[in-house]
């Protein structure tokens, strides 16, 4: 059957000698090759997954400085309730100029319950303009942004290292079985590393495609 089809097609080709076709360029070939990995997550998706896994969202600091100032609109409130349970005894004495003690002026003793309520509200109006904790927020924001960059650069590096290993496997596969196994192991190792950085999201996203 295959022979018959081949003969028929050869006949068709011979009957149409003017039919011609243009061949693709190396660029098209390279893009076609890279298109094989379209079923895998993009670097941008992997970066986002890594940031989500690390709970790195420096954006949440964006409005913190403003919010810290707005917070000064609300007062600090203090409430105090005191009740004096103890006896209160006071003795006042008068002294003469010579220093000798004179008779007591009074001797007071109270045992009544002395309930007292105190309340205080305090506005730091200056913090509407500048909150002293702004400097700490900026510092913390910078630290988080730095850590975020470290994660992004790491995950990007591993992602492309893995992609290069995959391309090498396709275009220049090792000749022997051992070499090929090692090359495949390298891809698997880098895949695991990406999974480690993304909490397994890399493999999960790849499987969902």
Partner 1 sequence: MPAALWFALTTLLAAPEGGVWLPTTGHAGERAIQAMGAGGDAALYAAGGGVVYRLEPGAEWTRIGRYAPRLTWEAGGEIVAHGDLPGSLLRQVEADAEAGIETPDAGDGREVVPREVKQALLAQFVEAQAETPGSPYAVAGVVPAPQGVWIATGAGLFRATRDGLTGPRQDVRGAVHSVLHRPTETLVGTDTGLWRIPAEAPAVLLRGGRVSALTESQGSIYFLADGRIFGGATPDAAHPISAPSPQPLAMAADPGGLYLATRFAVYRRSGAQWRLCASVPTPPSRLVTGEGILHAVAADAIYLYSESCGQVSRVGAPWPGGFGFTDVARLGGLVWASANQGVFMLTPLDADTSLAVQMEGYRRAVTGIPSMDALVLRALEVHRLDSQATDVGLRPAWAQLLPELRAAARYSPRRIETLDRGTRMTEIEVTRPKPDWQVMAYWRISLDRFLGFATVSPLDYFEANALDLEDDLEAEDALDGAAIEEVFDGTTSEIVYDDEALSAGEGPEAGLLEQYEDAAISMMASEKKRVAAERTKVVTQLRRLYQQRQNLLYRLWVQRSKDLLQRTTLLLSVDELDARLSAMTGLNIRSTGRSSEEANEAK
Bridge partner list, 95: 101
The two tokens of residue 106 are 């009074």
Q: Is 159 in the site for partner 1 (CB under 8 A)?
A: yes
| DSSP tag of 179 | H
Q: How far is the CB of 99 from partner 1 (least distance, A)?
A: 16
Residue 94 near residue 61 (C-beta atoms within 8 A): no
State the sign of the Cα–Cα–Cα–Cα dihedral 84, 85, 86, 92: positive
Q: Is 202 in the site for partner 1 (CB under 8 A)?
A: no
Q: How far is the CB of 86 from partner 1 (least distance, A)?
A: 14
Q: Is 101 in the site for partner 1 (CB under 8 A)?
A: no
How far apart are the C-alpha atoms of 44 and 33, rounded to whole Å? 20
Q: Is 208 in the site for partner 1 (CB under 8 A)?
A: no
Binding mask 38-77 for partner 1 (x = CB under 8 A): -----xx--xx---x--x-xxxxxx---------------
- Tell which residue, 189, 134, 202, has the closest CA to residue 161: 189
- Tell which residue, 141, 132, 124, has the closest CA to residue 64: 141
Q: How far is the CB of 13 from partner 1 (least distance, A)?
A: 7
Q: Where in 118-137 is the site for partner 1 (CB under 8 A)?
A: 118-130, 132-136
Q: Is 115 in the site for partner 1 (CB under 8 A)?
A: yes
CA–chain centroid gap for 112, Å, is 60
Q: Is 114 in the site for partner 1 (CB under 8 A)?
A: yes
Q: Is 95 in the site for partner 1 (CB under 8 A)?
A: no
Nearer to partner 1, 5 or 207 (CB): 5
């Amino acid at each position: 059957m295959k022979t018959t089809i081949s003969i028929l097609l050869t006949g068709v080709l011979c009957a149409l000698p003017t039919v011609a076709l243009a061949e693709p360029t190396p660029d098209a070939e390279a893009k076609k090759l890279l298109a094989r990995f379209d079923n895998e997550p993009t670097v941008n998706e992997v970066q986002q997954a890594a940031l989500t896994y690390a709970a790195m969202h420096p954006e949440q600091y964006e409005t913190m400085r403003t919010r810290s100032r707005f917070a000064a609109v609300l007062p600090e409130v203090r409430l105090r309730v005191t009740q004096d349970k103890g006896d209160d005894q006071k003795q006042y004495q008068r002294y003469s100029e010579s220093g000798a003690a004179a008779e007591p002026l009074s001797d007071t003793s109270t045992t009544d319950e002395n309930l007292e309520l105190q309340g205080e509200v305090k506005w730091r109006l200056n913090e509407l303009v500048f909150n002293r904790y702004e400097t700490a927020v900026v510092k913390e924001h910078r630290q988080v942004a730095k850590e975020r960059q470290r994660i992004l650069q790491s995950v990007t590096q591993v992602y492309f290292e893995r992609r290069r290993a995959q391309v090498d496997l396709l275009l220049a596969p090792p000749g022997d079985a051992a070499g090929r196994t090692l090359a495949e192991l390298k891809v698997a190792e880098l895949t695991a590393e990406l999974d480690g950085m993304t909490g397994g999201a890399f493999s999960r996203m790849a499987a969902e495609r």
